[in-house]
Amino acid sequence: MTVDEVVSIRGKPGKDLGGPKADPVTTEVIRQGLNAGADQMKVALRRAAFSPVIYEMIDFACGIYDTDVRMLAQARSLPSFLGTLGFCIEAAVKASGGEAQLEPGDVLWSTDGYANGSHPQDAVVVVPVFLDDTLVGYSVIKAHHLDIGAKEMYCTDTTDNFQEGVIFPGVKLYRSGVLQRDLYRTILANSRLPQALSGDLNAQLAAARMGASSLLTLIEKYGVEQYERSLERMFDAGEAIVRRYLEDVPDGRYIAKCALDSDGLTDDMVEFDVAVEIEGSDVVVDFSDSASEQAGPINCPLPTTVSTARMAILALLGGNEMPNEGHFRPIEVRARPGTLFFPRPPAPIFLYGWPSDQAVEGILQAISAVTPARARAASGGDLCGISLWGNRDDGSLWACAMDQPVGHGAKDGADGGSPLIIISCSGIRNSPAEVVEARYPVIVERCELAPDSGGAGRFRGGLGTDVEYRLLRDSYMTAIVERTKTPPEGLFGGGSGRPNRLEVRLPDGSVVSYSKVTRLALPAESVVAIQTGGGGGYGPAAERDREAVFDDVGEGYVSESEARRLYPQAF
């Protein structure tokens, strides 16, 4: 591969098995059985996990794949992991010696960020599934662990991927059902929170094995031939759904202009473009002319670049369809090595998800311009995430992480949602105040909708939130709050929502603003205050219905003074 070579990736093709097609009813039963198996993995992981980042925030992905590493089902959890699990399987299997070296009872473990498309904390467990001695598929889970030995538990200032966590490149944690205890002890020895890592890892193992059991049950019930024929029909149906949508989008090349506040090392904005090309029922999402690979950790590995495109296109379809490999076939993803969306080791990748989030927003806005019926204004555009940690009286370490919901953009016929996690992470949740206060020396002093934060318009943007955390002990904080410089834009004359903002109020009364910061020492009684962005409005504010304006004022969504300024026609 040369530096200038553009890589192109599509969903994997089907197989011609010959003979008659599978029965549609049986196919649907098998499809729903696979979906149910993936959902069972999700439930098992949440019930058994040690850390709230998994059982409350749902920061993970569970999937079932066939032997060709085609996605059969992925549970509803973190959309930004959509389709990345296949890359995880392929890399882990290759690193462990290839398919021929796999045996019943093997379990593979990987924290290789470039192979998995994530920072190393998003660690992967792969369970090869065998029917007797024949490999029939894979069960896989990628889940966020609080600490696996990075320079800090969460980082915004890394300069290479070796600072970002211990790299286990697809090693066998179990061989033929036997735990490799030296490897297991090594994994735990490299964590500041070994009890949490042990509990979460064992939950991950149990849930992945449950997925393997579900797949075997289906194959044994229907037989290998019926099962394989049903997969091909299932994939074809998924492909047809996406193609029907794309046929209604006007052909053309649409440019998404995106920006990040900084790369984590400097305060300079990082701007990049993503192109979307529609031709008939095919779409190309082209990252090849994006910004160059960055010195700070905002680089996005190729697997997540691919999932970014898939997630954005499938989000436009709407509905509640659980995707499979067939849904990916009409979507081609292009990227160039040495760029923001195809970095090369050892470029830092810890904040890989932040360029992905902005790219998703940009792709949606680019296509919205030519599909008004499905168009939606911009959202707050960020997770506004913070990590807090410190030591208890006995010297033990506590650590927690919280994401925040933002306002979403309005669309034709409806105001924006208030408040919701951004689209790319819409399967996760913020940590409930009850959990935060019960487990950590933190008080949630404020968590409320923010009046006047949504963009004005014929349809109003969704509201952001005002959240405040008071620290009861001396603590440390890492924060990543994006879109502080670029307010969420409205559509077709709608107003912008407010941007995101993070402030720290110190006990001496001083107030300091931050965007990205790592290991900030905060004394007890400091208050971390986050103001999340509102969504953009849709259509001119002068066209908003009078009763809708009065309802906004009555509900406290818009103050009377702002309503009079923005909607004078209502008074």
DSSP string, 429-491: -PPPHHHHHHHSSEEEEEEEE-TT-SPPSSBPPPP-EEEEEEESS-EEEEEE---SSSPPP-B
304 lies in some domain:
no
Residue range of the domain that includes 429: 376-571
pLDDT over threshold 70, residue 468? yes
pLDDT in tens, 482-526: 999 999 999 999 999 999 999 999 999 999 999 999 999 999 999
What is the spatial distance between Cα 306 and Cα 301, in angstroms, rounded to a whole number? 9
Structure tokens at 504: 């720290």
**Residue type for position 18:** G
- End of a domain among 225, 240, 255? 240
358 lies in some domain:
no
- Domain total in the chain: 2
What are the DSSP E strand ranges found in 330-384? 331-335
566 lies in some domain:
yes
pLDDT in tens, 359-368: 999 998 888 8
189 lies in some domain:
yes
- End of a domain among 240, 274, 299? 240
Closest CA to 82 of 362, 324, 247, 298: 324
pLDDT over threshold 80, residue 320? no
- End of a domain among 223, 240, 257? 240
Structure tokens at 438: 């019960």
Cross-strand partners of 448? 466
pLDDT over threshold 60, residue 383? yes
User: Strand, coil or helix: what is 479?
Assistant: strand
Give the CA-trace dihedral at 186, 189, 195, 198, to 10 degrees: -10
pLDDT over threshold 60, residue 284? yes
The pLDDT of residue 4 = 67
5 lies in some domain:
no
Residue 424, φ and ψ in degrees, nearest 5: -65, -20
The pLDDT of residue 319 = 66
What is the spatial distance between Cα 476 and Cα 372, in angstroms, rounded to a whole number? 46
393 lies in some domain:
yes
Threshold 0.75, pTM exceeds:
yes
